[in-house]
Amino acid sequence: MLQQNTKYIDFTLPDQNGNMHKLSDYLGKGNRIVLYFYPKDNTSGCSAQACGYSSLVGEFTKKNTIIFGISKDSVSSHKKFESNYDLKITLLSDESLKTLIDYDVWKEKSMYGKKYMGVVRTTYILDSDGTIIYSSDKVKAKEDPLKILNIL
């Protein structure tokens, strides 16, 4: 996990509609940015987290904050996820894993004694110049959106 008071690592990723988003394009305009990294579309925890952010998107907007959910799922998977839950947030696809690795969220995990690589649920808040002002990899999916809103 990247630490607080370090600078962002730029990336360009497609969203659920195939539109490209370059992180640095959003900086320096008075916006803060929430980057939340999650394991998989349409799973219970990830759905609860995405729906939570989506339901609070107006409150985040009032606080000049942009939300990006990022996983290794494809653009088409993100589109289905958006449609299934009527999401109002931007989901970014990192099938190459480059951004997941850069942000130190692609790690070895273990389930039932089996080891595998996957995304560790992690949330970052960037200030308007791209400095990380909050980072956590101890994220509870359902509680994360409101917790982050309260931090802002």
Q: Rounded CA gap, 129 and 132, in Å? A: 9
Cα 2 → chain centroid: 14
Q: Is 51 a catalytic residue?
A: no
Which residues partner with 108 through β-bridges?
A: 117
Q: Which of 23, 46, 70, 126 is catalytic?
A: 46
Q: Rounded CA gap, 133 and 124, in Å? A: 8
End-to-end CA distance of the chain: 20
List helix spans (H) across the chain: 44-55, 57-62, 75-85, 98-102, 144-151
Catalytic residues: 46
